Amino acid sequence: MFRLFTTFAVLSHLVSARSRRFGVSQLVVANRLSTVDPTLIRGGEQEFEIRAQPSRSNMFSTSASAVDPTSIRGGEQEFEIRAQPAPGSPFHYAFPVHNLGLAKHFYGTVMGCEEGRSSEKWQDYSLHGHQIVVHWVGDDYRNIDYFNPVDGDEVPVPHFGIALSVEQFHELAERLKKHGIEFIIAPHLRFVGDAGEQWTMFFKDPSGNNLEFKAMAKPQNLFAKYNVADNSIGAD
């Protein structure tokens, strides 16, 4: 009973911290929570487990990659720092594209990602402090889609993206609309009332690669484990 009470107290503390930036005390609590044994939690009629903690790089901060360009000289090489890596362990993902010019416009202009290193055949970008790299593999490349039902939607796979805050999610959705980006799955709320309730949207880059951006209603539930009560065969 004491353990269950303690778990609820910790979760309540984390939820109350969502509207402000994490301080040292919140970081200590979050780190401790990520190391405890899985604990069964009852929310209304739904039981679920918190088995892992989400990264703090985006859900609890809106400025992970915000930095003024700074010119730095290292030995004989001059370079600029245009974005900061996400706290903790930044994710790295490299994927193919058919046209670097179109990729540059999409990820740099439309998405607003800062460009880092580049060559004649690849470019890397900061996606909220995480490193994505586009590689030119030939003019004929187009992504091949597969589909899987998730909460009533036919979700394209493979796909990648970031779990944002709700505010960041809607800001990005408006940005995409202003640039005329067509949604595969329009921004909407899914898993309503469940531990995994979240905003989601899907769209493509010019090479047909699928992107999904989401925002958890309760960020601490990103890895909540429970049975999805619909006809889907997986929970995205």
Of 61-65, 102-106, 165-169, minimum mean pLDDT range: 61-65
Measured CA to CA, the distance from residue 57 to residue 80 in angstroms comes to: 22
Structure tokens that stand for 197 in this block: 């309730």
| Residue 200 domain flag | yes
Residue 197 included in any domain: yes
In angstroms, the CA 151 to CA 78 distance is 50
Position 22 pLDDT exceeds 50: no
Q: Does a structural domain hold residue 173?
A: yes
pLDDT, tens digit, 9 for 90 and up, residues 40-93: 555 556 666 655 555 655 443 444 444 555 555 556 777 777 677 777 889 999
In a domain, 12, yes or no: no
- Compare 11 and 37 and report the one with higher pLDDT: 37
Task: Name the phi and psi angles at 59, rounded to 5.
Answer: -65, -30
Residue 99 belongs to a domain: no
The confidence score (pLDDT) of residue 83 equals 73
Q: Which domain holds residue 164?
A: 146-225
Q: Please, which pLDDT band fits residue 20 given cuts at 50, 70 and 90?
A: very low
Q: pLDDT tens for residues 199-228?
A: 999 999 999 999 999 999 999 999 988 887
For residue 136, tell me if it sits in a domain: no
Domain count, the chain: 1
Output the pLDDT for position 100.
98
In a domain, 175, yes or no: yes
Q: What CATH code is carried by the domain that includes residue 165? A: 3.10.180.10
